Structure 1
Amino acid sequence: MAGHSKWANIKRQKAVVDAKRGNIFTQLSRAIIVAARNGVPDPAGNFQLRTAIDKAKAAGIPNDNIERAIAKGAGTFNDNSILEEIRYEGYGPGGVAILIEALTDNRNRTAADLRVAFSKNGGNLGETGCVSWMFSQKGVCTVEDVIDEEQLLEASLEGDAESYEMIEEETAEVFTEVVNLEKLSQTLKETGFNVIDVELRWIPGNHVEVTYPDQAKSLLKLIDTLEGLDDVQNVTANFDMAENLMTLSVINH
């Protein structure tokens, strides 16, 4: 399994991810703003917005905050901040390629924060285009309670998925083209699967094997630090790593 998925999963199991990220409200609210801005400000006709609202509700964000975020995206609520979507690229320890998606109202602040995070954790922020050529964007549905893999395969094919991967016992990630994500999500749900997450994700075309414990620890600390920044929405990296090394690094940092 690709290292980043496996690592995210280990963190999820240990309930580390959202408990220590007080910025989760900011990130989810911003995702709603951008989704409302990019399409119609009505969840019924905007799949990206519907997904962002579902995630916000699951994280316990109050309805008032959700409505305000939709209004900001629609331009009917003005707080004088203009959010830009920017992609940053860099290298982590061991030459691992890292892609960062950010939403910011101050690109100088964001770039400075990222530069500090990289330099403190053995990496460096690179130029635009330095690593993005290694990644392609896909739609991903995460499915839980998968008892019958044959059934998952059939439903995935029916929903025009490209592939799926079991990331742990009874949990799978199903991949598709970006434009097909809504259809895939709907098909999986209609065939009785428990879809717990729907997202667009950058998937690396190649992987760098990380084998040294110190390097592993620095890399995961770097990704954790990047994910903890208010302006950062998503972080993707092309590492692969033995599960025991990964678990050890998560516990120790």
Structure 2
Amino acid sequence: MAGHSKWANIQHRKGRVDAARGKMWSKLSKAIIMAAKSGGGDPMANFRLRKAIDDAKAVSMPKDNIERAIKRGTGELDGGDMEEILYEGYGPGGVAVMCEAMTDNRNRTAPEMKQLFSKFGGNLGNSGCVSYLFDRKGVVVFEDGVDEEQVTMIAMEHGGEDIDHNDDGKLQVTSPPDAFDGLVEAFTDAELAIDYSEVSQVPQTTVDLESDMARKVLSLLQALDDHDDVQNVSTNLNITDEALQEEDA
């Protein structure tokens, strides 16, 4: 889980900073559109939509933007012709990279993904080329100081699988994707402070690279994550503190 949690933490911390400038609103709008499109526009009956709305509110996305995104998803407004696509490829050093995207124009997004992979020393691959190296999992990460015993009990009752601490020392619970909604809802009802939660691609094992190559991978991951259509980026690289420190230097 180390490769997932380290990069996930980077993404979420970055997202909070970017959101202050409005950079994340486009991505959040797409998440709301897809949630409303797949499960209807009532957040009380559509947990995925409710979570997307909560994520948007957490970064001060305006209420009007949220409502327009819901209406686009339900077809009340134009602009809801969105689809989810999984892009797979290889980064520098041959590490596996997966990008979950939402786009209204795959003919635009696919070439842009290919260009980004190539620009940063990687290669966009065919469907299935690296997905076998990952498991799709629900991941819930808690704020510091949460009651670990209570988290464990609720996780056991609602489909949680692994309970551990991530690279930042925060308590983390994983689950099958189909148990994720109920698990997060149970934690929320118990008023347990969640740092973030998502369904994402978790590497089965991680690989190590020397620091120079690892920094090149981080540059690719960052560029992919900055793309407006990309919602999540996953890798099987073991991201070390040394590589992160040198990248920030």
After superposition, what is the alpha-carbon deviation per residue over 1:112-170, rounded to whole angstroms, capped at 9, x for unaligned?
Answer: 21112111111110111101111221112121133543443233212320012212566
- Which amino acid is the alignment partner of residue 231 of structure 1? D
Identify if the C-alpha distance between structure 1 residues 184 and 98 changes in structure 2 by more than 3 Å, giving closer, same or farther: same
- Superimposed CA distance per residue, residues 57-90 of structure 1 (whole angstroms, 9 cap, x where no aligned partner): 11111000000000000001114x6212111100
Residue 209 of structure 1: SS of its match in structure 2?
coil
- C-alpha separation in 2, matches of 1:192 and 1:66: 24
* 3-state SS in 2 of match to 1:162: coil
Q: SS at the partner of 1:239?
A: coil
TM-score (norm 2): 0.91
Q: Which moved more, 1:47-56 or 1:185-194?
A: 185-194
Q: Tell me the CA shift for residue 186 of structure 1.
A: 2.6
- The reply on whether 1:144 has 2:143 as its aligned counterpart is yes
* Counterpart AA for 1:132: S
1:205-244 maps to which residues of 2 (within 5 A)?
205-210=204-209, 212-244=210-242
Pair 1:247–1:157, CA change in 2 (3 A): farther
Q: Is the 8 A contact 2:90 2:97 kept in 1?
A: yes
Q: Take 2:184 and 2:244, find their aligned partners in 1: how far apart are those partners? A: 30
SS in 2 for 1:30: helix
Aligned match of 1:110: 109
* Secondary structure, counterpart of 2:215 in structure 1: helix
**Alignment match, 1:178:** 177
Counterpart secondary structure, 1:226: helix
Q: Which moved more, 1:234-243 or 1:162-171?
A: 162-171
Residue-by-residue CA offset, 1:199-253 (whole Å, 9 max, x unaligned): 111111122112x12111110110000000111111111111322222322x14x
Q: 1:71 to 1:232 in 2, by over 3 A?
A: same
Letter in 2 for 1:217: R
C-alpha displacement at 1:105, in angstroms? 1.6
TM superposition shift of 1:24: 0.8
Identity of aligned residues (%): 43
Matches for 1:14-163 after TM superposition, within 5 Å:
15-20=13-18, 23-79=23-79, 82-163=81-162
CA contact (8 A) 1:146 1:193 kept: no
- Aligned mates of 2:153, 2:181 — CA distance in 1: 17
C-alpha displacement of 1:50: 0.3
Structure 1 position 192, deviation (Å)? 4.1
Structure 1 residues 168 and 88: alpha-carbon distance in aligned structure 2, compared to 1, 3 A threshold: closer
Q: Which runs of 5+ in 1 are unaligned?
A: none
Structure 1 residue 201 corresponds to structure 2 residue 174: no
Of 95-104 and 142-151, deviating more is 142-151
CA drift at 1:18: 4.1
Task: Give the equivalent residue in structure 2 for 1:245.
Answer: 243
The alpha-carbon deviation at position 10 of structure 1 amounts to: 4.9
Query: What amino acid does structure 2 have at the position aligned with 1:131?
Result: V
**1:11 Cα shift?**
6.1
> Aligned letter for 1:97?
A
CA RMSD across the alignment = 2.0
Classify the secondary structure of the residue corresponding to 1:98: strand
Distance 1:242 1:180, change over 3 A: same
Give 5+ residue unaligned stretches, structure 2: none
Structure 2 vs 1, CA of residues 170 and 218 (structure 1 numbering), >3 Å: closer, same or farther?
Answer: closer
Letter of the 2:221 counterpart: I
